[in-house]
Structure 1
Amino acid sequence: MSGVDRLLFPAPKEATISVERKLVDQKCSACGSADVRRYPVANFIGPRMVTKCQDCFHHLAVDVPALEDHWPPWRSATLDWEPSRAG
């Protein structure tokens, strides 16, 4: 890890790291539970937002993060810009 990386992403002070799992207004299609939440994950195909039942762990949706999701935190500010002819 370089010095710049440590300035931008310092080592966590907490013993564990967690993300907020936001409750969504949906019912699980597999078990009928109302405890369905949406949260960010690091997937093998890149960063994604998952909507998942917290009782039976059934996936209801896996989406590409929108700008308002702020995921991943190191996402490029120019990610959605159209490329120029210069490259």
Structure 2
Amino acid sequence: MSGVDRLLFPPPAEEKIYVERKPAGQKCPECDSEDVRRYPVANFIGPRMVTKCQDCFHHLATDVPAEDDHWPPWRSATLDWAASRAG
């Protein structure tokens, strides 16, 4: 790890690292639970947002992160820009 990496991504200060699972305001079609949440994951096809029931773990959706999701934290500022003729 170089000095620049340590400056940009210091080791976490918390003992446990977790992700906030925000309520999705939906009802699970499998178990009728109201505890359906949306949260970021690192997927094999890239960063995604998933919506899952927290009681039966039924998968409702997998989406590409929106700008408001702030996922991943290192997302490029030019990610949504159209490519130029130069590529």
Counterpart position of 2:20: 20
Quote the RMSD (CA, aligned, Å).
Answer: 0.8
> Could you tell me which residue of structure 2 aligns to residue 47 of structure 1?
47
Amino acid in structure 2 at the alignment position of 1:30: E
Uncovered stretches (5+) of structure 1, i.e. residues with no partner: none
Partner of 2:83: 83
Identity of counterpart residues, as a percentage? 80
Equivalents in 1 of 2:38, 2:79: separation in Å? Answer: 22
Following TM superposition, the consecutive aligned residue runs of length 4 or more in structure 1 with deviations greater than 6 angstroms are: none
Equivalent residue for 2:66? 66
Q: What is the number of residues matched between the two proteins?
A: 87
**TM (normalized to structure 1)?**
0.96
Gaps of 5+ in 2: none
Taking the aligned partners of 1:13 and 1:73, their CA distance within structure 2 comes to 17
